Amino acid sequence: MRLATWNVNSIRTRVDRVLSWLDRADIDVLAIQETKCRDEQFPAEKFEAAGYEIVHTGFSQWNGVAIASRIGIDEVEVGFPGQPGFDKEADTALLSAPVVEARAIGATCGGVRVWSLYVPNGRSLTDPHYTYKLDWLAALRDCGAARLREDPSAQIALCGDWNVAPTDDDVWSPEFFENKTHVSAPERAAFQAVVDAGFTDVMRPFAPGPGVYTYWDYTQLRFPRKEGMRIDFVLASPALAARATDAGVDREERKGKGASDHAPVVVEFG
């Protein structure tokens, strides 16, 4: 299985580019984030014409996640148990009527439980969205740990834009990001808690060291200057991680007119 994850930053803007890449890269399953559309706006017919089944959840021009598979889609699950919501209109997170946003969708594809996840950004260290982000990651950890307790042999892939750079090697300048989100100690601890629950960053053994990034801001010529972050991951359960044979970032997809600010992460499982 060739599994990929990609924050496409608007599927309607980039659907042709995504489909062309799926063909060139010979991808079996793609977890997609930040589709930025409602379900009825998603260009499902183009994926179906290319031989992919598609599931999507999206409520507005924000967020949105999907899974495209040419090896089957079963047992679709929108959101995970305990997934917290966020009240966008409130001054404090998780108040009167928090909305469970379109940030998680799961499906079984070729025997693997694939999750497409778009972790909240956090905005700033003092923003209510930051607390929401930490709560969201804690709930995901609890859900993943529970599923591994139920079935230690389960094959699960937690794929997506995690909005966390877990080590200093995962950012172009630790000094630049000081006192900012994505690199704070609580965020890194929340990411590590998912790893400690039994999930492995399967790309790292195949792409070690600094300078391996998946995201480059559109501003300040970040991409040509190689000033990026590694915030997109495939975290695999023990049974699935044991099957990983190769992995990497397709940096070429960050190039050219109309590119997303993220590049796809691809993992090969034997």
The per-residue pLDDT for range 176-187, each reduced to its tens digit, is 999 999 999 999
Q: What is the pLDDT of residues 104-153, one digit of tens each?
A: 999 999 999 999 999 999 999 999 999 999 999 999 999 999 999 999 99
Place of tokens 């108040």: 95
Residues in binding site: 7, 34, 161, 163, 261-262
Q: Point out the residues of the chain with pLDDT beneath 50.
A: 92-95
In this predicted structure, what is the pLDDT of residue 87? 76
Side-chain-facing half-sphere of 13: CA atoms under 13 Å: 14
**187 closest CA partner among 255, 141, 224:** 141
Task: Show Cβ contacts of residue 45 under 8 Å, excluding neighbours closer than 6 positions.
Answer: none
Catalytic residue numbers, as ranges: 118, 161, 262
In this predicted structure, what is the pLDDT of residue 49? 98
In this predicted structure, what is the pLDDT of residue 89? 61
Where do the domains of the chain lie?
Answer: 2-269
In this predicted structure, what is the pLDDT of residue 98? 75
Contact (CB, 8 A) for 117 and 140: yes
**155 closest CA partner among 111, 208, 198, 197:** 111
Q: What is the pLDDT of residues 232-248, one digit of tens each?
A: 999 999 999 999 999 99
Q: Taking the mean position of all CA atoms in its chain, how far away is CA 26?
A: 20
Residues in binding site for Mg(2+): 7, 34, 161, 163, 261-262
The number of beta carbons lying within 10 Å of the beta carbon of residue 126 is 8
The hierarchical CATH code for the domain 2-269 is 3.60.10.10
In this predicted structure, what is the pLDDT of residue 97? 57
